[in-house]
Structure 1
């Protein structure tokens, strides 16, 4: 498969597709630091502003992890008409000029509900009006061998193929048993209405806070000594949490810039799964489905083939890949720093004052961490 990547970021989609046997022909990325990573890691032309890209080469696959800035819950929520998320129209312009066999789009699940799901309606209407088949599915990166909980919507479209044979061919179902873990992830920036708790995984890595400040999550390592029990992953650990090799973004940029690149990336193993489906589409699984009427709330998975829209009952766990290492081991191998005194103190104050459920030993370790950090 020959591919073109639009809004490529640091190349998560493209790297995953290459691991499935694809070759990359062209990359497009506007942000300078991310474009520098692409030039270092891929031996292809990297162009900048998609609005200035006149055409793309004829290829099998065009990918577009278009900006989530206007669609994310932590973004501006302007919707598909926002100045950044609305740039998906530029991708459509290029696709219409030189149609590939497959199109792959990726974005946040909030696009299914924000403003009544206007973003998804706009996207699928664009494809249907031009005779394309489409299917989308919400999946979670933690089920692809990563120690990060990251829910994303993946949409595959084609004029000639059945995209259900890419996205709906695997179904592991949600796990029925709950296991204990040696480490738990949480958002230290929260604590009033939620903590983003993750059993053996971190919560979703973010490109940055509403103030544009990188805010990697924290991890509680059960039983660790004071000063090591409450930590923030290093950016190298963050790269591994997304499926890149450690050091993928290490080209001299500050850690805050690197965290933004990593937080905005597509998880590599998820893209590899997509790539294998594109290379060898199979029959969809036998799952419950029903007609999807226009105006109904967008479900977690749906399709339209030959103009027939259907809602599919599928989980966010197509695969049941086990991570090769625990979250605690990942931090040991790739680095973590103690959460700062002020960050820990602020989070603990908010958590204790809230009505949120929490483990007593977690609060004990937070207080021990505060005492330790106060003494160093």
Structure 2
């Protein structure tokens, strides 16, 4: 296989557990390059997909977690033609040559399904069909694989010679309740509080990449005791399915700040999500859950497949399996108390808005601020 926009190797590591061997990795971020070279020491790392002339001979799978900055709600939402997300066309350029790989696996954020009225998906599926691919995609949640992170991602699988439907649509376990807000830790983003609040029971909301300046953006977690903590970098590495200190090699690069590790982890693909795809590729289902044709001008659903201009909606959830769920508390070995300043800032924003919060939540935040000694700048 070849990994394009490889990041810190989430797709590659998960697929490797099922026999896929990386022959080439391509990644432009110098910190991520250092991580890849440390953990994939025998694999060449190319720095710029635009300068990559061709794929290695015999490539059977291309994995591409192409940049999502132009597609996400947290990003610039410039769309599929944005400077970053438009790089997906480089993937099509590379797989167009010669015979092409047997499989093409792409990953991105669910917001791409609705951005610009679905223009991003129309661009991608049109390009795939022009190349002769049968394609399928499914939005999946990392919690389905036991990770306590509410992280949904679009997984798209396409092939000229194989059928991706038994791989992505072979099973559906259905969404499940994974905690009780009265007795389990609850994750939220303390940087929010006026117009929205990322909230997850016995999980953290989707981990963010942080700022372009390398400033970390960790979530907060309300523990059953009422304390408010934030996970450390090794905690969030594990919440993405990596080993502790996976991103430490990035710090060996001159000029890379400690906070850049948060960006690398926040932009990564959850390893267990990739491992599930690898497992399904190795042993696809005998049959796929069927779908129904969609009318032209449809909204892109949670799961679909298509060929020759016809799109079929597939009635599946974002939970293909129910892997034994791991309690969020097991992932907090490196946590620390949310600072008084951050707590006071969050409370100030909540008072400016009209959001409704779970019972007892704001009281816990206020009590946490009192235990932290209050914040002298709160009145200002």
Q: TM-score range by the shorter chain?
A: over 0.9
CA contact (8 A) 2:303 2:314 kept: yes
CA contact (8 A) 2:165 2:288 kept: no
CA contact (8 A) 1:133 1:307 kept: no
Can you list the C-alpha shifts for 1:245-299, whole angstroms capped at 9, x where unaligned? 1110012354310000000000000000111122222234445x21023321111
Query: Aligned partners of 1:339, 1:302: CA distance in 2, in Å?
Result: 41
Which runs of 5 or more structure 2 residues have no equivalent in the other structure?
376-380
Cross-structure match for 1:6: 4
Query: Aligned partners of 2:212, 2:247: CA distance in 1, in Å?
Result: 23
Matched, 1:342 2:345: no
Alignment partner of 2:210 out of 208, 211, 222: 208
CA contact (8 A) 1:111 1:120 kept: yes
CA contact (8 A) 1:244 1:268 kept: yes
Matches within 5 A, 1:214-363: 214-223=216-225, 229-251=227-249, 252=251, 254-287=257-290, 289-305=291-307, 308-324=310-326, 326-331=327-332, 334-363=333-362
Query: Aligned partners of 1:75, 1:211: CA distance in 2, in Å?
Result: 15
CA contact (8 A) 2:289 2:314 kept: no
Which runs of 5 or more structure 1 residues have no equivalent in the other structure?
none
Query: Aligned partners of 2:127, 2:374: CA distance in 1, in Å?
Result: 60
Cross-structure match for 1:371: 370
Give the superposition deviation at 1:360.
4.2
Matches within 5 A, 1:78-117: 78-98=78-98, 99-117=100-118
CA contact (8 A) 1:182 1:222 kept: yes
Cross-structure match for 1:189: 191
Matches within 5 A, 1:55-66: 55-57=54-56, 58-66=58-66
Query: Aligned partners of 2:77, 2:347: CA distance in 1, in Å?
Result: 29
Query: Aligned partners of 1:352, 1:363: CA distance in 2, in Å?
Result: 10
Query: Aligned partners of 2:358, 2:125: CA distance in 1, in Å?
Result: 44
Query: Aligned partners of 1:306, 1:277: CA distance in 2, in Å?
Result: 25
Q: How many residues align?
A: 366
Can you list the C-alpha shifts for 1:26-50, whole angstroms capped at 9, x where unaligned? 1000000001000000131111011
Can you list the C-alpha shifts for 1:49-87, whole angstroms capped at 9, x where unaligned? 111111111311100000001101111111011000001
Cross-structure match for 1:16: 14
Query: Aligned partners of 1:275, 1:307: CA distance in 2, in Å?
Result: 28
Alignment partner of 1:38 out of 36, 39, 47: 36
TM-score by length of 1: 0.92
Q: For 1:270, what is the secondary structure of its paired residue?
A: helix
